[in-house]
Structure formats: C-alpha cells, structure tokens
Chain A
C-alpha cells in the first residue's frame, strides 16, 4: 500500500496490490492514467514521490525491500534490478556520452578503463546498436529515439540484474521501432533468464510480450492471470471494456461502445468497487462493497462481485 499526500489530504494511491514476478517470465502491469501501475512498479526499487507512506511488503529473493535501508535499495537498484524508463531523452544525461553513462555502474565496480570500455562495447552490441565503436562516444541527442531506448536497456543490463522493470518502454516510439525493441526485450528475457516487469497502457504490447498480466484500476488490482487468457476471456468488466476498445489494423472494426466517464481518481475513489460508476454490470452491491480479489478459476483472479457472469 502506498499513501501519497495531496494538498491537505492524503490518498491511498496503491491499495492492497499484490503480484509476483518470476525468473524467465514477463509480468505486465496494465492500466490507464491514475491506475497506479507505474507507482506499483517503482515502489519495488524505492522510487516514490517525496512524502509517500508505504505499508505492506516487497520481497526480493526473500529480502524485504520496502523497509530496507536507503543504501541497500540503491545497491539493489541498478545492480540487481535494472530500470528502463519511458522517455530516454529525459532519463539520459544530455551532456555525457552514452559510453560514459552505460559504463557508470561498471566504473564503480573497480574495473580498469579498458575493461569498462570493452564491456560497454559488448553491451551496446548486445542491445543491437550498430557500429558500437562509432556510437560509444556520441551524445544522446545525436541518436534516434529507438537507439536511445537501446542505450537505456544497455544501462539497465550493465549491472547484470536479475529483474528488469520497464516502464512504457515503447510508448514514445514509432511502430516499426516498437516491434524491434519488444523483440529485443523478449530475447533478453529468454537468453539471460531475466524476470521482467513491464508497465504499459497498451494491450497490444502486453498481448504478445507478457506471460502474466495484472490489470489495475484506481490503485487496485482488477484482474490477474495468464496474459492470453485474461485478454481474450476477461473476468472483469473493466478488462473486457479495455480489450473491446483496442482498435485493430487487421480488421475494420466499428468504434467500440465507449465506457462512460474517465478513469477514477485514486485520491477521490468511488465507494465500493471503484469501477462501478462506469460499469455496465453495476448493481447496488457494487456501490457499497469493495470486491475482494479472489481466484475465480485456476490461476485466474478477479476483483468483481460478478466475475463468473462476465462473458467475453
């Protein structure tokens, strides 16, 4: 649980969210704005806004991180858990060459200059940057968006992490570049046996890179389970609405019957089920009683009172 201050009030922006990420698997956090998907992911590595209060547990290979010392978290972040941000132009240092930035964590490891440079070249090659010898000394602004994102991935890999958290890694990229970066992430996960936590609002991205998905709404888990099953046969009306709203290039579809209203604000969450004001299935019970996330079939969890009645 994460409580954030907002003016005079506080808001529980993450409310009883739990999920697990396993080695060699990609877990996707799906949600719209205000769903808490990014904050859930960033709370793992202690990247929360100032003033945030937390409760609950983040257990990293049986070590408790949520209450760990700041120094330990900094050690974990970068070395054991790599982070890739959405906008590499904002996340990279504009006045340092990319070689310097990728090598930063290696230099702290006490390697010689030649060793660091050789390893950086290896990493740049690993993430598919052509001519790494030419590119190692350029600045972020001299690269395309896709290449910058590859640099971010190389940075995340430099500490030889076991888990990579990728926050909307392809959202700012063109469709052709998007496909390639996703392929790269999928290859890395497989070859390095990484665990990956992918945060995205894009169901198309999730559908083919995630093994498991966690669908979030207003700071709570709406639904959780194997990606394909959840996206093709949703057990929560919100997931169903999201899936219906994704347009396709492969078939000409009418514009879906849109959900009314906007995603709920976690600072001003509706009573009962947070989704009830927009839900076509809402009953009286949904207005008063917060649904508990429960297992509705093997491996499938839904926080809807009427999960068994949600047809796809």
Chain B
C-alpha cells in the first residue's frame, strides 16, 4: 500500500484509514469482575480510490461493519485516523456539512432503515432540507423525479410509503436518498444480502451503473464472495478485527495469499460444487 504523498501531489485516495482501532465493552466473566474488552477493530489501514469499488469481506464478528460505522462517524474509534480527501473525519456531529454529505450509506435492510411514516418524496426532500447546499434550486418535484429515474423508479412511487413497495424498490429508495446528496463515497453494508436472487442482480447492476455515471467510490461490505467477484476492483479481507489481505479482486480470487482467505474461498467453492464432489471433500477450513 502506498500512502505517502510524493512531492506534495494530491493523493488519489478518496478515503484513507490509518491504524484504526475500536474496542467495545464485552461480557463480564462474573458479576464482580470488570467487563472484558472486545477489540472489534485492531489496527486497520485501508485506502479507497476515486471511482473504485473496494469490497470489505469477512465473517460475522470480523469487524467489517464496525469499520463502516467509523467511516460514517457513527462509532468513535479508540485510535487511528480516517481522512477524506486529506481532511480528518471526526464523529458525525463534528463533521462539517459537506463532509457529512460526501459519504452516504446504504444499509442491508431498507425495511428498517427507511422511516415507515414518510412517503418516498418526504424521505428524499428531508435529505435536501438537511443539506440545503445540494438541494435543487428550482423545481423540486422535477428534481425528485430525476433522482428516482436515476435509480430506476417511476415518479409514481413518490407518494407511496416504504411498506407499499417491494424489497427491491425500497433498496432503490435508499440508494436514491443517498444519491440525492451527491456523495463521492457510497458505503454499502450488506446492501443486497437481504434481497431475493432475482432482485439482487438488479441492484448490483444499478450500483455499477451509478458508479460510472456519478463518479462514485464504493465501499462494499459483504460476506458474499461471489458478489464480490462480480463487482469489486479490490478486496480487503478482515478476520477478528485485523486486515489479513488487501489486493486486487483478480489476484484474490486466482491466487489468494493468506491461509484465511484460502479457507474462505475453499468453503465458497465447496458450496458451488455438486453434491458428489461435496460429499468427498474433507473439511479443510478451521
């Protein structure tokens, strides 16, 4: 990884994460004992370049979502720095409006991340009210229709509430809400994991198209390696709070360097094997 700027040139990275550490209070061993500490993120360095898709993968408890939450400013790191285009990012409430806006999030379950009482129109207008700097100057109704069209939604859904939409449509609304603020970096935390297979491809295509048309960098957090292979430029693999490998997608899938990555890939390959192959495969992963 190269992060030293040479000759004062501007870093090509949208986001730089240096030595990120996050600890949470863990369970008590007994009533009298002090709480144990769970080191959710234990020293992570990561760069995201402009217009690239960086996949952050790992099993549950690996710390991948905690990294995302730090980037969003929703979790305060114990140590380490996160910089966006060279500017340090603090907690969300300390960030200047333009930095809050530049990084947007798409969550796994749009059913719970969208306000059920608000119509689609109100959800997107609210985003503009919070960030008037990027709110459309003229006719908001027209702008709203354009944002919805960008994510493949008919203007007719503007008056509906999330509960009246399908899972795929809801995820499109959360993407539209993020897009309405003209972000540079989109953080997608398991954004297609809860969707039906036939809808998953729609949303993946949409993300890939939007990345190109809107010059987005995407931090794509997932446990699904097959999806990663389809969309990622580079992949970072986390295990128990540490980064075990970070390389191009091509390299990772054809010649994984770390034993843990090889284990993950082998398990995923097993799942793809036919039943006969599967029954003859010894468990290789520990």
- The answer, among B167, B168, B204, B272, for a CB contact under 8 Å with A255, is B204
Which residues of A sit under 8 angstroms from B204, Cβ to Cβ? 255
By the criterion CB–CB under 8 Å, are B196 and A258 in contact? no
Q: Known contacts A175-B264, A176-B59; decide if A253 and B230 are in contact (CB<8 Å).
A: yes
Q: How large is the interface on A (under 10, 10 to 19, 20 to 34, 35 or more residues)?
A: 35 or more
- The answer to whether A292 has its CB under 8 Å from any CB of chain B is no
Proximity bits, B204-223, A CB within 8 Å = 1, else 0 = 11001000000000000001
Known: A175-B264, A176-B267, A245-B200. A252 touches B253 (CB 8 A): yes
A204 within 8 Å of B (CB atoms): yes
User: Within the assembled complex, what's the spacing in Å between the Cα atoms of A201 and B197?
Assistant: 8
User: In angstroms, how far is the closest chain B Cβ from the Cβ of A204?
Assistant: 5
For residue B231, give the distance in angstroms from its CB to the closest CB of chain A: 7
Query: Does A281 sit at the interface, judged by CB under 8 A?
Result: no
- In the complex, are the beta carbons of B265 and A245 less than 8 A apart? no
Q: Does A100 contact B (CB under 8 A)?
A: no
Is residue A134 contacting chain B, with contact meaning CB distance below 8 A?
Answer: no
B268 contacts the other chain (Cβ, under 8 Å)?
yes
Q: Is A180 an interface residue (CB 8 A)?
A: yes
A33, B272: Cβ atoms closer than 8 Å: no
Q: A176-B285, A178-B271, A262-B169 are in contact. Are A249 and B197 (CB under 8 A)?
A: no
Partner of B271, one of A175, A210, A241, A278: A175
Contact A180 B283 (CB under 8 A): yes
Q: List A contacts of B269 (CB < 8 A).
A: 249-250
The answer on a CB contact under 8 Å between A249 and B272 is: yes
- Report Cα–Cα, A228/B249, bound state, in Å: 30
Contact between B283 and A248, CB atoms less than 8 A apart: no
Given A175-B268, A228-B274, A249 and B229 contact (CB-CB distance below 8 Å): yes
- Asked whether A255 lies within 8 Å of B283 as measured between CB atoms, the reply is no
Indicate whether A208 reaches chain B with its CB closer than 8 angstroms. yes
CA distance A175 to B230 in the complex (A): 18
Expressed in whole angstroms, the Cα–Cα distance for A242 and B199 within the complex equals: 10
A203 contacts the other chain (CB 8 A)? yes
Inter-chain contact A208/B275, CB cutoff 8 Å: yes
Complex: A180 Cα to B271 Cα, angstroms: 10
- Residues A219-238 near B (CB distance < 8 A): 227-228
Establish whether residues A247 and B273, one from each chain, have CB atoms under 8 Å apart when the complex forms.
no
Interface mask (A131-143 → B, CB under 8 Å = 1, otherwise 0): 0000000000000
Interface flag for B43 (CB, 8 Å): no
* A/B pair count, beta carbons within 8 Å: 125
B257 CB within 8 Å of chain A? no
Give Cα A252 to B233, complex, Å. 12
Chain A contacts of B250 at CB under 8 A? Answer: 252
Known contacts A174-B223, A247-B227, A249-B265; is-contact A262 B196 (Cβ 8 Å): yes
A23: CB under 8 A from chain B? no
Least CB distance from A171 to B in Å reads 10
A125 at the interface (CB under 8 A from B): no
Cα of A258 to Cα of B201 in the assembled complex, Å: 5
Query: Which of B198, B229, B278 is the one whose CB lies under 8 Å from A247?
Result: B229
Contacts of B263 in A (CB 8 A): 176
B166 at the A interface (CB under 8 A): yes
A256: CB under 8 A from chain B?
yes
Chain B residues within an 8 Å CB radius of A246? 197, 226
Q: Which residue of B lies closest to A211 (CB)?
A: B275
Q: Are A262 and B230 in contact (CB under 8 A)?
A: no
Can you list 15 residue pairs at the A/B interface with Cβ under 8 Å? A33-B167, A174-B223, A176-B59, A179-B285, A182-B271, A207-B272, A208-B277, A208-B278, A227-B275, A241-B198, A246-B226, A255-B205, A259-B198, A262-B169, A262-B196
Would you list the 3 A-B pairs with minimal beta carbon distance, nearest first? A262-B166, A258-B201, A247-B226
Point out residues on B near A: beta carbons under 8 Å: 59-60, 166-169, 196-202, 204-205, 208, 223-227, 229-231, 249-250, 253, 263-265, 267-275, 277-279, 283, 285
Interface residues of A (CB under 8 A from B): 32-33, 145, 174-180, 182-183, 186, 201, 203-205, 207-210, 227-228, 241-242, 245-259, 261-263, 278
